[in-house]
Structure 1
Amino acid sequence: MNPTHHRRRQLRSVGTITAGAALAAVLAACGSTAGATAQNAGAGTSSGSSAAAGQPVSGGTLTLALDGDPTCIDPAQTSLTNTLSLGAQFTDTLVDQDFETGEIVPALAEKWEISDDATEFTFHLRDGVTFSDGTPLDAAAVKANFDGIIDLGAASFLGSSYLADYVGTDVVDDSTAKVTFKTPNVPFLQAAATATLGILSPATNKLTADERCQGELVGSGPFVLSKYDLTSQVVLTRRAGYAWPSAAAEHQGEAYVETVVLPIVKETGVRAGGLQSAEFDGIFQPAVQDQDALEQAGFTLTSRANPGNVQSLFANTFRPLVAEEAVRQAFQKAIDRDEFNATLFNARYAVPSSVLSPTTPGYTDLSADLVYDPEGAKALLDGAGWTVGADGIREKDGTKLVLKLLSSEATKSAAELTQNQLKEVGIGVEIEIPESSQSFKVRSAGDWDYTFSGLTRADPDTLRRDFWSGGQPNSAAHLTESPLDDKILAQKAEVDTEKRWAIVAEIQKEIITQGYDIPYGSQLQIYATRDGVQGLRLDASSRLRLYDTWVQASS
């Protein structure tokens, strides 16, 4: 009997509730030494990477267990972190971001110019770059790519947001592309560094959205997408002759690893067990309850906090209860974020201190506005005329103060904890969990008071994506028109960085003090690997980059 398969069957029988305890026992039996953690939780500090030892080795196979099916492997049509991380391996981008500072650096474009009003972006491409099918990556290919994003429409909801008010791309000559927008789009340069806008071949852009989802994708990146079996595995192979890494890379030439095999393993205990039994070299997103045991057993944990909007409850001010400022502000004060962190996360996850993560450029620390203050919440509700009824739930003019929270299975525990905390101040909660296939439809309909969401991007324009009233129904929050809209659009147009950050600070302050966003948790990208995996890196968007990764033989 294959011992690896035997181990997987054993761990499956444990069940999700006891998986963490079972893993701890298994790992303790191994007698391994303490592990290492490479972590970045703050803005402007070193990006997550596994510590390198010795000289890089070329060749070999790296097996990393994915935490779920990419569903649609086209990076232009997803917001899933694992899919975007995969896309970053087989596509290149016009520019990149320094992994530590977030500074925009050259990639496919050697240089660029931006018009004074930030409506025109001219990119000068490197010579000699080709897609893996041998066709040249030229200005016409850039145009086909951005036009293709627009053609995808709602299927590329992130891409469409990044290309808001897109006029078109002019092919000035083979190596020069000029991208034009109707209105200023300062964040576009950062968007051009994301896998969402990674450059795919003209042939790929002629395919249907569904064909692209199924893996018929050709890029110019350091790896080739050679296999995608839905719900089974993804295989990447090293691109022969690759010679155009971005300025954020740590070496030149081809990638070190020859083959990357990514089996899709949804069960957290099975992933962790496969790492322990050496079936996998590493795993995506080890469960919170498994992380300490893995580290103590000698595995390396590489992590970085996601930039962008933290995990939060987003308001719907079209609803009469949420339209009341006192109700929103009381909600903000009634949430004990330390209890959330202790219950749902661990010390690796920072308690949120703003609507934005600290790894986001322009972040402002608003911890003082997020202090747990249940007595303050009660006072606000008392002052607004909400009196406590016989059942402990407040009411006014015959209306119960009961909020509907739109959740999912993934956020069910957070919803239940929110329900318990709000009950303490007299706010009732109903939790609705629609079928996953219906979640977008239900959210768009707006029959809810607060909904759970978060958004990753290394630019504060995530605030426009989720809080601008003109972004509905795609925005996480559903807000009526207000002066906040003017500030949100102003930051998108401000070319002076310091002035833009000042506007972004005002936006964060207003969102938090008005209770439009109730932060409760940080999003963290975390990977566990054996000690032979070196050079694993997380970029400025906390996406996995494998170009600089190499593997030593298992000891």
Structure 2
Amino acid sequence: MTGHHPPLNRRGFLRAAGGAALLVPFASACADTRTTQSGGGGTLRYALSAEPKGLDPASTGESNSGIVIHNVYDRLLELTGDGKDVSAGLAERWEVTPDGIGHTFHLRQGVKFSDGTVLDAAAVVASLRRTMEVGQGASDLLVDHVKPGNIVAKDAGTVVITLDAPFSPFLRTLALDAVGSVVNPAVVAANKTQADPTAAKYLARNMAGSGAFQFVRWTPNQVIELKASDSHWRGRPKLAGVLFNSPVEPSTAALQIERGDLDVVGNLPVNLIERLAQRDDVTVLATPLLDITYWIFQTEQAPFDDVRVRQAICYAIDHEAIMANVVKESGIPLRGPIPGSLIDGYNDNKDVVVYKRDVAKAKELLAQAGHANGLKIDSTYVPGYGTLKQIAEVMQANLKEVGIECAIGELPLSTIIDKVGKGELPFFSWKSTLNYASPDALLYGKLHGKASQSVEGNLAHYRNDKVDTLLDRARGSADKQAQDADWLAASAQISQDAPWLPLYQDVDRRAVRKNISNYKESALSRPDLFTVGKD
């Protein structure tokens, strides 16, 4: 869990960062794929699913923070709607050297931060170096691949980045909110202290971007207010502003959108979404997300350090009943650790273990692991994220039938984030969002032995040298067919090792009032609100 990425989401609870593009030399002059608009009127009232952890792009990858960050900051590049490619952002065009190491970005002219400061190459360089200095969030996607001194301003309009070695996901990395969002260095300089040289404390509660919307205020546990920028390089947004409301109990949120007190609400239980879908003044948008929902085993803690126990739990769960009776249209069954659409032929591959309910098999594995007389475990979930509570209750009943007594409990997202980062929860629900449509985004970032054991990384504390070798090779490869073969082999091994109990790929079912126009939910859970209107 963006965050949206836990239950969170990294982009779900936490939106995970990573992914791989083909490593080929090219020169790009891609046009910005986001439509230019002018005018402005109406305030969008958007219900967040959890209180943001902070508003500094360099220190948070959590999805609710990311929705705000995405619309206040600009990036060198932007991800396309499907997450599979990049398009122009602050950089109008760019070139990559044939060896995949040198990257040159040509900035559009006349861009200014919200305070009127010019956004030039020096500002981009300072912001990227600041992300590395802060050293949190997804900063490892820079730190591990480039030295700060190799991010330079050739002139006021040109940024040159020289990697240490080829890194195929790099362009997508720069398009991530938690990596590439450009922060005004003048604001950093004005608010830094000797104890806080990056002004992280100030920027956790304030914002200094060049995006289509400007930050107005954040009243914690109430609202984050944005106003339209009159001078954004794309023009003025259609909306006059946005109010990101702090989360309320799901039934209350449903009542508020019915009354017109909210305009956009997601993460509601299936019964409430289905109720809203019957209304003439509400549209329910269904968007498959690059988010997955699963339970994580802390593989270094007993009894989950025994693969047989993990497999037994996976076999004990009635996956089909959970999908049919609880998740329904809000998810697509997850086969192994990644969404099947990411690799051609993945769903037909026999090497990937697909766990289906098998009580006898589960009992046999438990007996082999020395638990023939039963086992007691704890499981934790985050409240308020759709169907997680109901899933936990089904799992509890399923496990009881194979001799496992599972105590389930809920904790607030902020508490879960703190505890899982310290390895204090042994078996817990999680949501992760791929930042782009590549297996690397999940497999390397969350299951490689060298991945951090923070909330952005390998929370299962899983390591398999064979898997690491496959993922390393895929990450540096320029051959898509070979990459896919390595990712498929890694997925198969991971499915056997079961560091996760996979459940489903999320389908976002978001209630939007019909007087809201042009709202499109991103597959990456980062809606661009620039084109949205309100009648």
TM range (shorter): 0.7 to 0.9
1:455 and 2:400 matched: no
Residue type of the alignment partner of 2:443: L
State the match for 1:381 in structure 2: 365
Separation in structure 1 between the aligned mates of residue 110 and residue 415 of structure 2, nearest angstrom: 46
Are 1:306 and 2:296 matched, yes or no?
A: no
**Corresponding residue number in structure 2 for 1:514:** 497
Q: Which residue of 2 aligns with 1:127?
A: 109
Name the SS of the counterpart of 2:332 in structure 1. coil
- Partner amino acid, structure 2, of 1:211: Y
Confirm or deny that 1:419 pairs with 2:419. no
1:214, distance to aligned residue in structure 2 (A): 0.9
Query: Relative to structure 1, is the Cα distance of residues 497 and 256 closer, same or farther in structure 2, using a 3 angstrom cutoff?
Result: farther
* Structure 1 residue 330, shift from structure 2 partner: 2.8
Matched, 1:527 2:507: no
Contact (CA 8 Å) 1:378, 1:425: kept in 2 or not?
yes
Distance 1:137 1:355, change over 3 A: same
- Which ranges in structure 2 are unaligned for 5 or more consecutive residues? 1-36, 192-198
What is the alpha-carbon distance in structure 2 between the residues aligned to residue 477 and residue 283 of structure 1?
Answer: 31
**Identity value in percent:** 22
Q: Answer yes or no: is 1:464 the counterpart of 2:447.
A: no
CA contact (8 A) 1:235 1:261 kept: yes
**Residue-pair matches, total:** 476
Read off the aligned partner of 1:470 and give its amino acid letter: K
Q: Which has the larger radius of gyration?
A: 1
Distance 2:476 2:104 in 1: 17
Q: 87, 102, 110: which one pairs with 2:84?
A: 102
User: Does the aligned pair in 2 maintain the 1:356–1:363 contact within 8 Å?
Assistant: no
Contact 1:65 1:282 in 2 (8 A): yes
- Alignment equivalent of 1:157, drawn from 119, 137, 162: 137
- Indicate whether 1:282 and 2:264 are aligned: yes
Render the CA deviation track for 1:17-57: whole Å, top value 9, x for unaligned: xxxxxxxxxxxxxxxxxxxxxxxxxxxxxxxxxxxxxx997
Task: Note the C-alpha offset of 1:372.
Answer: 1.3
Would you say the 8 A contact 1:364–1:508 is kept in 2?
no
SS of the residue aligned with 1:537? Answer: coil
Matched, 1:542 2:525: yes
Q: Using structure 2 for the length normalisation, give the TM-score.
A: 0.80
Judge conservation of contact 1:536–1:546 (CA < 8 Å) in 2: yes
Q: Secondary structure at the match of 2:244?
A: strand
1:291: how far off? Answer: 0.5
DSSP 3-state at the match of 2:330: coil
Map of 1:7-406 to 2, 5 A cutoff?
58-100=40-82, 102-153=84-135, 156-161=136-141, 163-168=143-148, 169-196=151-178, 197-206=180-189, 207=191, 208-215=199-206, 217-244=207-234, 253-298=235-280, 299-308=282-291, 310-357=292-339, 364-365=346-347, 369-375=353-359, 377-378=361-362, 380-381=364-365, 384=368, 386=370, 388-389=372-373, 393=374, 401-406=375-380
Task: Give runs of aligned pairs for residues 486-525 of structure 1, distance below 5 A.
Answer: 486-525=469-508
Considering only aligned residues, what root-mean-square deviation do their CA atoms show, in Å?
3.0
Cα shift at 1:407: 4.2
Give distance in 2, aligned partners of 1:190 and 1:366.
Answer: 28
**Could you tell me how far 1:534 is from its partner in structure 2?**
0.9
Displaced runs of 4+ in structure 1, greater than 6 A?
Answer: none
Cα-to-partner distance string for 1:127-153 (whole Å, 9 max, x where unaligned): 222212222222111111111112222
In structure 2, what is the Cα distance between the partners aligned to 1:363 and 1:158? Answer: 30
For residues 485 and 81 of structure 2, the distance between their equivalents in structure 1, rounded to whole angstroms, comes to: 24
Question: How far 1:524 sits from its partner (Å)?
Answer: 3.9
How far 1:157 moved relative to its partner? 2.0
- The 8 Å contact of residues 336 and 372 in structure 1, kept in 2 or not, is answered as yes
Mapped to 2, the partners of 1:221 and 1:425 lie a distance apart of: 54
Would you say the 8 A contact 1:108–1:125 is kept in 2?
yes
Where 2:337 maps in the other structure, the secondary structure is coil
Q: Distance in 1 between matches of 2:146 and 2:451?
A: 16
For structure 1, list consecutive stretches of 5 or more residues without a partner in the other structure. 1-54, 245-252, 394-400
1:524-549 residue CA offsets vs partner (Å, 9 max, x unmatched): 44431221111002234132111111
Deviations, residues 411-436 of structure 1 (Å, cap 9, x unaligned): 55443432322232334435466676
Decide whether the 8 Å contact of 2:315 with 2:362 is kept in 1.
no
